[in-house]
Amino acid sequence: MSAAEFAAGGQTDARDGEVDAKAIFGFWVYLMTDCVLFAGLFATYAVLRDNTFGGPAGYQIFNMPEVLVETLVLLMSSFTCGLGVLAARSNRTSQVLGWFAATFVLGLVFLTIELTDFQSLVTQGNSWTRSGFLSAYFTLVGTHGLHITIGLLWMAVLVVRILKTGLTRGNVRRLTLLSLFWHFLDLVWIFIFTIVYLMGAARV
Amino acid sequence: MSDHAGPSILPAEMRSASLRGYIFGFAGSIVLTVAAYLLVVGHASTNGVLVSALVLLALVQFGLQLVFFLHLNMTTQQKWRLYMLGAMVIVVLVIVIGSLWIMGNLNTRMTPAQEQQYMTAQGGL
């Protein structure tokens, strides 16, 4: 490699690094505003929590072992997502695809448990129209579920893209942003798990 | 997986990621989640203590995942992300505490009759 080529390579790398930095910071700003959206929903939930209007309270409808499984599945998907990023660092394409496939499946399991739970609530007559508590519950947990759905779609598109064009710098950047999004959803879930489910089940 | 050589195409912001970090974050989160769950299922303490313990466990897990999963640290590159996080925390606290304060206040100051009158006049709360 001549000195000129080396310098050009260095410039490309620096430029790519700048694009990475801007993309990651921009995406981080989006994640923080998304936190504010969730804060609004958490506040609504906290205010309406006891307004059961003759309907069931949280401790009567939450299936806690199921919620624990749901939580651990999401946590594990966060872990496999991180391992996917690590595999991208060492340019192991098949490992990246494997870990993100695992993340996708775990995310799908989480979403299935959540939707099955929603469906059984609705068939029991405890839908979002039942009480203020249930409206706030469905909106808060449902918004998180919607984010998970969008994350899964994004993941599917990105996996196809990597299959077609390989681990390019742009694809690794997208992978990084997706991992931030996915870990962020796990962060939000900590508070849903604690405030909605644990405090609901403990009646505190 | 810290054995990689040469320049990486992974963004510089993610290069502090390590297998050990992910395992530590994952194992720690599991322990904290299960501990919080067992506290509630066992209902071992009074309400006040239980709430404080749950909030504490959630905040520790929040910090753990921020550091080991989202790779937040004090380096120059990450400083601005940290400032954004701080601004977000302030806004979130204002929204949540403010809503609870206002609505709690309204709740204690209004009699059921006043509430009914207000609801009729406004067509809802």
The count of domains in chain B is: 2
Place of tokens 């912001």: B13
User: Regarding the domain with residue range A30-201, which homologous superfamily does it belong to in the CATH classification?
Assistant: Cytochrome c oxidase, subunit III, four-helix bundle (1.20.120.80)
Residues B110 and B66 in one domain: no
Which amino acid, residue A104? Answer: F
| Both structure tokens of B84 | 């954004």
Interface residue B8 vs chain A (CB under 8 A): yes
Instruction: Please list the pLDDT of chain A residue by residue as tens digits (204 residues).
Output: 455 555 556 677 788 888 998 999 999 999 999 999 999 999 999 999 999 989 999 999 999 999 999 999 999 999 999 999 999 988 999 999 999 999 999 999 999 999 999 999 999 999 999 999 999 999 999 999 999 999 999 999 999 999 999 999 999 999 999 999 999 999 999 999 999 999 999 988
What is the value of pTM for the model shown? 0.91
Place of tokens 């872990």: A79
Residues B53 and B93 in one domain: no
Q: A173 to chain B: nearest residue by CA?
A: B11
The Cβ of residue A157 has, within 10 Å, a number of other Cβ atoms equal to: 12
Residues B66 and B6 in one domain: yes
Residues B65 and B125 in one domain: no
Range of the domain at B16: 1-73
Q: Among residues of chain B, what percentage have pLDDT more than 70?
A: 91
| CA distance linking residue A144 with residue B110, whole number of Å | 34
Residues B40 and B94 in one domain: no
Place of tokens 């405090």: A199
| CA distance linking residue A46 with residue A141, whole number of Å | 13
The SS3 call for residue B45 is coil
The domain segmentation of chain A, as residue ranges, is 30-201
> Which residues of chain B have a CB within 8 Å of the CB of A28?
81, 84
> Which residues of chain A have a CB within 8 Å of the CB of B103?
47
Residues B91 and B51 in one domain: no
| Of A94, A44, A177, the residue nearest B100 (C-alpha) | A44
Start-to-end CA distance of chain B, whole Å, equals 57
* Phi/psi at A54 (5° precision): 80, -10
Out of B22, B37, B84, the one facing A68 most closely (by C-beta) is B37
| CA distance linking residue B84 with residue B71, whole number of Å | 15
Domain end call among B35, B54, B73: B73
Q: How far is CA A35 from CA B55, B70, B78, in A?
A: 18, 15, 19
Residues B62 and B93 in one domain: no
Residues B44 and B3 in one domain: yes
Residues B84 and B53 in one domain: no
Cβ atoms of B16 and B71 within 8 Å: the answer is: yes
> Which residues of chain A have a CB within 8 Å of the CB of B62?
187, 190-191
Q: What pLDDT does B1 receive?
A: 40
Q: What pLDDT does A10 receive?
A: 65
Cβ atoms of A97 and A162 within 8 Å: the answer is: yes
Residues B40 and B97 in one domain: no
The SS3 call for residue A129 is coil
| Of A164, A172, A165, the residue nearest A17 (C-alpha) | A172
Q: What pLDDT does B5 receive?
A: 39
